[in-house]
Amino acid sequence: MDDELTAGYSVPCERCSAVNWGVSDTGQFYCKSCHNIIERVRDVEETEVLSTSSRVTTLSRKSFKKNEKVLGKEWMIIEGFQFVLMHQADALLALGVCPQFKNDVLCHFWRRYLQKTKQAYTENPISLGRISAEPCQNVDSDSAVESEALSDVSLHSGPSVSQGSDLSLGASAGHSSDDEASTSLWCGSADATGYLNRRNQRSHHLMSMPRTLALCHLALLWVREAVTLADLLRFVSEKHIPYLNIHEVFPEEIKLFGKDASIFRVKSIPSYQRVQEEAQLLARVMELPAFPSISPQCLLHPGLLSLRYLTEANLPDELHHWVCEVMHRSGLAKVGALTFDHASAAQRKSPISYELLACALIIVSMKLLFRLNDNKEWKLSEKADHHNFADIPGSGLFSLAWWYETVLKAFEKAKKREEQQTASQMWKSSKAMVFRKKDKTVNLKRRRVVEHLQKSFQKLSGPSPDTLHSKPSSFIFRWGEGEDSDGPSFHQTKLHHVMKKEREAHTTANEKYWHPFLASRGKKPCKSHYAEVEPTLPRMYVWLLELFSFLLRVTPACMHQEVLRVEQQFMKCRRFKRKKKTTVEK
């Protein structure tokens, strides 16, 4: 194809003296040997009827720069984020989320956010003022995100838009004038400079890529879908939800280059705590009311979520009774304690996390039954093994030692598999992002070299690992019989050996319970001291924290903090009941 387009042009390359020309996507000639780009472009057919010439053979540097300044239509940054949100919503709908999620909830939240931050749907939009700084050409690409704005970018007032109208933001968000566009830095959008100003980001709560996930998380909470925040981040990492290299699917009208690339560039997936904090902030900015209550029949309720994680961790089904008992005795089953409300003082100190709470309840229940002090649980396992090997009629007893060996093998395999997927994942975009005008030629040349090397390696090693996506699933492990299983199932095992009967009621045979120092909770949340106390904690307890933190993609410190919160509530309610009982007896 290149031979046909470059036919008749036999001028040697100025750099390597070779005559081996190719044509890029933009129509420029480049040397295939040294990748040197020249000013010559390929012949283009003229479509105008009244044109005096039928062919265009050359394009001067001056006219090329002029055309380069007006790529695509004029667009606003909020239009780019709106496009990202709609793509993420469509991906969630494809995963099975209810149809009301997108049109009835997420779009409403998006309009409300734009209106509360005065970026659109208001008669007095915000004005992102002029900030003096050095020219963009002297700014390094890595620091371009944090650079100050250099030009006036304002959102002119326009007619207000009703909430039921279309999501087009052209009229309500306003547009920049030709003078403003001419003084703006090299970018495709009209207001990129204002978005890169830290002062504007803090004062106006401007949108960012992590906040798109936070907004989706709030919408999922509102419709009470079973997709938790941990699931949302896992689907993002598995590329079932668009987030990484989102600019590749931008429409042709939205040209992304220069400072725009710094806004939409994603270097990593945000952490669980980061998205949770952004969700709390957005809820306060939008002044959302209290969310719909989480009833025991709701899939987000810790009682039902604990069933899911008991299945995932291959623990006995009978343990669910003790999980619900701990939840009720801790006062964590109340509707008010489970309803998301950004105005709540308790949730402001420790935001509610349904999946973290469910896993913390499982760990506390296991501490009640097995003590988990690196001694008692092994004695109970010996008792269960003796019962199981004696061929006593009835279902087998749960042996924590056997369970530990089974889950440990699958856990190590899963961690190794995730490390390999992370190492083989293609983090670089297939579409080059140009941050500085003077680097455009170099970036495009590097991209061509990379694509050529990738094609060469694919011929030698087979298909790219990035193309082998796993199907979306709520579970990581598979327990039971079969070739694809990770080990035998322990769901039907019994817990009779860890219980005793007192006054026609079953209680735990373990009469002691250990816990770290439970400090009183002040007005401000205390920072985690897990790194300091981790060497002193029992190894079995630490391993359990690592297992559930791997399932939720959080840190063990975060999981430990949630366990302490549950234990504090449990001990508080227990002391209150004892005090009340003593008062009644007197």
Written as one string, the DSSP assignment of 418-445 is HHHHHHHS--S-SS----SGGGHHHHHH
Query: Alpha-carbon dihedral of residues 409, 411, 415, 418, nearest 10 degrees?
Result: 110
Q: Are residues 200 and 90 in the same domain?
A: yes
Q: Which residue's structure tokens are 């999620």?
A: 101
Nearest partner of 325 among 366, 384, 293, 380, judged by Cα: 366
Instruction: For residues 177 and 140, give the distance between their C-alpha atoms in angstroms, rounded to a whole number.
Output: 28
Could you tell me if 264 and 115 are in contact, meaning their C-beta atoms sit under 8 angstroms apart? no
Element (H, E) at 275: helix 272-286
d(CA 483, CA 88): 35
Q: What is the domain count for the chain?
A: 3
Domain of residue 41, residue span = 2-46+58-69
Q: Indicate the residue among 262, 286, 310 that finishes a domain.
A: 286
431 found inside a domain:
no
18, 36, 69 - which closes a domain = 69
> Using the 8-state DSSP alphabet, how is residue 501 labeled?
E
pLDDT at 562: 94
Look at strands 55-56 and 44-45 and give their pairing.
Answer: antiparallel
Indicate whether 227 and 311 sit together in one domain: no
Q: What is the pLDDT of residue 149?
A: 29
> Closest Cα partner for 513 from 304, 402, 365, 310?
365
Q: In 3-state terms, the chain is what percent helix, strand and coil (to 5)?
A: 50, 5, 45
Residue 281 φ then ψ, to 5°: -65, -45
Residues 347 and 454: their CA atoms lie apart, in Å, by: 49
How far is C-alpha 219 from the geometric centre of its chain's CA atoms? Answer: 14
Question: Are both 240 and 332 inside the same structural domain?
Answer: no
Q: How far is CA 38 from the centre of its chain?
A: 42
> Is residue 42 included in any domain, yes or no?
yes
Provide the 3-class DSSP secondary structure of residue 30: strand
The pLDDT of residue 161: 35
- pLDDT, residue 577, reads 52
399-433 burial code (b ≥16 CB/10 A, e <16) = bbebbbebbeebbeebeeeeeeeeeeeeeebeebb
Residue 258 near residue 436 (C-beta atoms within 8 A): yes
What local confidence, expressed as pLDDT, does residue 510 receive? 83
Dist CA 241 CA 213 (whole Å): 10
Q: Do 221 and 316 share a domain, yes or no?
A: no
pLDDT score, position 122 = 86
Q: Which pTM does this prediction carry?
A: 0.76
Are 378 and 526 found together in one domain? yes
Q: Which pLDDT score, from 0 to 100, does residue 348 have? A: 82
CATH number at residue 12: 2.20.25
What pLDDT score was predicted for residue 543?
A: 97
> How far is it, in rounded angstroms, from Cα 314 to Cα 404?
10
From the first residue on, what is the mean pLDDT of each consecutive set of 10 residues in the chain (586 residues)? 70 81 75 75 42 36 39 77 95 94 96 93 73 36 33 31 40 41 54 83 91 97 94 93 87 77 86 95 94 92 95 96 94 88 84 95 96 93 88 79 96 92 72 64 74 75 56 88 90 90 75 80 63 93 97 94 92 61 38
The verdict on 246 and 349 lying in the same domain is no
* Cα–Cα–Cα angle for 192, 217, 113, rounded to 5 degrees: 45
270 with 369, same domain: the answer is no
Residue 395 is predicted with a pLDDT of 66
Tokens of 63: 């006219």
Q: What is the pLDDT of residue 33?
A: 79
pLDDT score for 155: 28
CB-based burial of residue 62 (10 Å sphere; 0-12 exposed, 13-18 middle, 19+ buried)? exposed
